[in-house]
Structure 1
């Protein structure tokens, strides 16, 4: 009987070591497989949904890597709970698109206490120094490409309205500041309106309607993203002013490319969701393996105009 009990204890110990028994409410992970947790800020955001799709597609091509996904739905408390769940699952690395920068310290604190490398995607953490890496498109470069193109279309004179993303979003801050820098270079250009529309098409439309009804003279709209730009275009078209106000955006989403091809949208900027996804997962794998990774990775963007729009439409069709 003692020999039988000793044998059973030995078997259970071995099983626990190799990860073949249950722990808590989940199965212990395979020690031969890297497990990465990914928490997106808002899967309902148009660009966020493309980013999530690209990450899922890329993760399917990887061997010995398991990627689990969570959507915080723009709720910072939900995001913290999801990160805590990743930690309880004993993931090897975590990728997070912070919902709010200013409320992200607890996330990095939790990961640091658990000794799990954490990577910020699109937005940095409040305590970015506690993160292994920050990966994002170069927002300054994107805004420069957009605003310089709009300025040229305006013959470097006229009134500009700026539609901003969320006030606490880093990309919004950088893009809006860059618009100001570009416009300041041209003495005959000035900003006549500037308000946020939360990355949202409907809010962009409502904001543009308000500006048009107020009688503001607007020659161009510089939007922080395509969704808000499309909303502005809908309001402009409804007011019978299509073609009289030049509109630009950022992201080069499939919808915006069709607006660009039709001549309604003047310009957009391609942020490569596939490159961002691959870079974030590859970096997480390196960090999980204890390898040194770059502290900041900026993905360069590409200007999309009526002249080259077809090649970007083809990129989406080939996915």
Structure 2
């Protein structure tokens, strides 16, 4: 009996050793927590991450959906730490609530890269890949101001309140509008990046009877919802709509003459740069603390370049 127990224990030990060897396969392991799988643009960022990982070859990535909840994201990061990830990438649900995530990763001595939404807490040992968000809002508003001859009422559809990109894009719009005495922001409301909320907000604004000359949206999905509401009320021809992201859906609307402009946010550039940065950090290579990917204005004149 003792001999059988001894043989059993030896087999178990060999099995566990084999499992450990299989896990330590030499690949760089990266855990990615994405703020929301329901965000169209962020799914394009994820696609770019997957493409970059495939290109590198020796990378294994685990993706999780943060469901726009900071508590869920913290739990996901803690799980990544427990799994011994070489690097962690986070697209934060809330940019002003990342400190616990950052501290947990740094305490565990694991490389941490934030993407797309810049946290307000970015100490040494943490990195950021994104774009100059205020510039995007300025580009939107400048295009509208020139198209309207510097006159008109502007409504702003905002992302989640408190988010860094929401604040900076909105501030960029307002900064440009303030330069034109005959332009004013008459409405602003958060649609949380969602198309159906963009639609319902516009329905309420239309019902209020306010005169609107342009809708500037912090992203494309809300802009497309706004267009649906305007079209349903026969008002689209009188109201400009400008989005942000240059998603395929937005470009299709532009090709049909339904969206006036958008801003190209380089999901491929952000996604690939984030994996490249996380990979280099795992390999003990030097990287820039912040990498900025430029925005570009997309109009009916040049949209085919972005298809």
Q: TM-score, length-normalised on structure 1?
A: 0.88
In the alignment, does 2:24 pair up with 1:29? yes
Please give the per-residue CA displacement for 1:168-194, whole angstroms capped at 9, x wherever unaligned: 110010000011110111111111111
Alignment map for 1:72-87 (pairs within 5 Å): 72-87=66-81
Mapped partners of 2:57, 2:252: distance in 1: 37
- Please report the RMSD computed on the Cα atoms of aligned residues, expressed in angstroms: 2.0
Q: Which runs of 5+ in 1 are unaligned?
A: 314-319
SS at match of 1:303: strand
Mapped partners of 2:245, 2:157: distance in 1: 14
Q: CA deviation at 1:130?
A: 4.5
Mapped partners of 1:111, 1:37: distance in 2: 11
Please give the per-residue CA displacement for 1:45-96, whole angstroms capped at 9, x wherever unaligned: 1111111122112211212222221111222222112111111121111110
The answer to whether the 8 Å contact 2:51/2:272 transfers is no
Out of 125, 133, 136, the residue aligned to residue 119 of structure 2 is: 125
Please give the per-residue CA displacement for 1:176-226, whole angstroms capped at 9, x wherever unaligned: 001111011111111111111111111111111111110111101111111
Mapped partners of 2:120, 2:101: distance in 1: 9
Out of 36, 39, 47, the residue aligned to residue 41 of structure 2 is: 47
The answer to whether the 8 Å contact 1:133/1:295 transfers is yes
Please give the per-residue CA displacement for 1:14-54, whole angstroms capped at 9, x wherever unaligned: x96xxx4349xxx6332x22111111110111111111122
Mapped partners of 1:175, 1:185: distance in 2: 16
The answer to whether the 8 Å contact 2:241/2:259 transfers is yes
Question: Residue 153 of structure 2 corresponds to which residue in structure 1?
Answer: 159
Mapped partners of 1:131, 1:125: distance in 2: 14
Question: Residue 3 of structure 2 corresponds to which residue in structure 1?
Answer: none
Out of 248, 256, 261, the residue aligned to residue 267 of structure 1 is: 261
Question: Residue 110 of structure 1 corresponds to which residue in structure 2?
Answer: 104
Q: TM-score, length-normalised on structure 2?
A: 0.91
How many pairs were matched up? 297
Q: Which runs of 5+ in 2 are unaligned?
A: 1-5
Mapped partners of 1:279, 1:102: distance in 2: 23
Alignment map for 1:84-233 (pairs within 5 Å): 84-233=78-227
